Amino acid sequence: MRRNIKLTFSFDGSNFSGWQKQKNKRSVQETIEKALKKITQEKIKIIGCGRTDSGVHAINYVGNFKTSSKIPCENFKKAINSFLTPEIYVKKVEDVSLSFHSRYDAKRKTYIYLISLSKSPFLKNYVCVYEREIDIKKRT
């Protein structure tokens, strides 16, 4: 029996070329698919809720895939996290209808842009540094 499984996960995109698989580049999609193959012994294609550029991070990214595996969702979560690199963490695994599509069924997407007024080695992968003064109240 085929199942459709929805994953909600976070990833630090600093060392990825983006979500989508690309030849000779490391992607989030490819990394997750490799982990799923180890667990299910099936060649799986995970569908993401949208593409991301290189270096982009996600807090609640949604993807789904079809499988014949009978592994319960709570065990899937533990198994997949054990095969993923520390840059990706699956937060939630759930069975959904076979018609669910993470991209077409998305209700909304929220983008957050972080700006820092000074450089920081701790934030360099997560903020845009703008070293000039910003007048927040000024309208153009």
Enzyme catalytic residues: 53
User: What backbone torsions phi and psi does residue 14 show, to the nearest 5 degrees?
Assistant: -50, -40
User: What backbone torsions phi and psi does residue 62 show, to the nearest 5 degrees?
Assistant: -120, 135
Identify whether the C-beta of residue 36 lies closer than 8 Å to the C-beta of residue 77. Answer: no
Distances in Å between the Cα of 110 and the Cα atoms of 2, 53, 83, 90 are 31, 15, 28, 19
Question: Quick one: which of 97, 77, 81 has its CA closest to 89?
Answer: 81
Query: What DSSP state is assigned to residue 76?
Result: H
